[in-house]
Amino acid sequence: MTDGIDTPDRRGRTGLDHYGRDLTRNPRVRIHDVEVLSCDWYVLRKTTFDYRHADGHWSREQRENYDRGDGATILLYDAEQRTVLLTRQFRLPAYVNEHPDGFLIETAAGLLDGDAPEEAIRREAAEETGHVVGTPEHVFDVYMSPGSVTERVHFFAAPYGPGTAAGLGGGIAAEGEDIDTLELPFTEALAMIRDGRIADAKTIMLLQWAALDGPFRAREQGVS
Ligand SMILES: Nc1nc2c(ncn2[C@@H]2O[C@H](COP(=O)(O)OP(=O)(O)O[C@H]3O[C@H](CO)[C@@H](O)[C@H](O)[C@@H]3O)[C@@H](O)[C@H]2O)c(=O)[nH]1
Ligand SMILES: [Mg+2]
């Protein structure tokens, strides 16, 4: 009897070794075995598969893959004031990998927890920043670390302002969250990417999208 497989793990899950076994979309890939290495909070699997290379030969491969579900993130912006509203929180994995204090500046974000991406991001934005936004603009969906992490993050943007302020934000204390909000001029946020004070991938992607294609893009110069 193994927790997470035939008996519930601490989060009540079973059958965690089934995920990915039935994949047949790609004729160059035959899944052979799925082993659960860890299922304490999220799930770490080792998947064994046969892979047909470009020259036609098959080889047996193994890849560990970390499954924490999918997530969503949102850039809150005020196009008139030319500001963005970001969050700041302690991120242990960054702290153990050379970040000076582990406090990362990020766009509001969270895991879907079974909800549709748009619903999840409106919930997370409210929990983390206190702003209840309208229908967010969908930007793109991205695999953030495809060599090792299954997660796909859904990216959004929405205006914020006095009209969307509905609470204090700060995250869910009972889940150990302690989140500050940070309102910054957009140009300052871009400068913070250059000097490393903003070092979170989703945040950099959304700020650069805002400059290139989003609310802070330069006016068309009439040059194609
Ligand atoms: N006890 C326990 N709690 C955990 C653990 N890992 C995460 N948590 C808790 O799980 C919750 C996750 O919070 P969310 O707001 O839903 O997710 P997030 O960590 O902000 O994730 C967002 O940012 C990530 C980093 O960019 C993204 O990877 C993710 O998709 C999402 O956008 C937090 O309360 C966190 O403390 C763990 O190992 N143990
Ligand atoms: Mg979060």
Provide the residue ranges of all domains of the chain, joining segments of one domain with +. Answer: 1-67, 71-212
pTM of the model: 0.94
β pairing state of 108-111 and 71-78: antiparallel
β pairing state of 71-78 and 152-159: parallel
Ligand-binding site membership of 158 (annotated): no
Whose alpha carbon is nearest atom 7 of ligand 1?
Answer: 41
Q: Tell me, what's the ipTM? A: 0.94
pLDDT in tens, 153-204: 999 999 999 999 998 888 888 888 899 999 999 999 999 999 999 999 999 9
In the predicted model, what is the mean pLDDT of residues 146-157?
98
Confidence at residue 144, expressed as pLDDT on a 0 to 100 scale: 96
Ligand-binding site membership of 124 (annotated): yes
Assigned CATH class of 1-67: alpha beta
Give dist(CA 102, CA 26) in Å, integer: 40
Ligand-binding site membership of 201 (annotated): no
- The pLDDT mean for the chain works out to 94
In the predicted model, what is the mean pLDDT of residues 81-102?
98
pLDDT in tens, 4-50: 899 888 888 898 889 899 999 999 999 999 999 999 999 999 999 99
What's the CATH code, domain 71-212?
A: 3.90.79.10
In ligand 1, which atom is closest to the CA atom of 201?
Answer: 26
177 lines ligand 1 (CB under 6 A): yes
Confidence at residue 167, expressed as pLDDT on a 0 to 100 scale: 81
Domains 1-67 and 71-212 alike in fold: yes
Q: What is the dihedral of CA 155, 159, 164, 167, to 10 degrees?
A: 50
Distance 110 CA to ligand 1 centre (A): 6
Q: Which of 3-7, 39-43, 98-102, 108-112 has the lowest mean pLDDT?
A: 3-7
Distance 170 CA to ligand 1 centre (A): 14
pLDDT in tens, 57-86: 999 999 999 999 999 999 999 999 999 999
- CA 183, distance to chain mean position in Å, is 21
Question: For the chain, what's the residue count?
Answer: 224
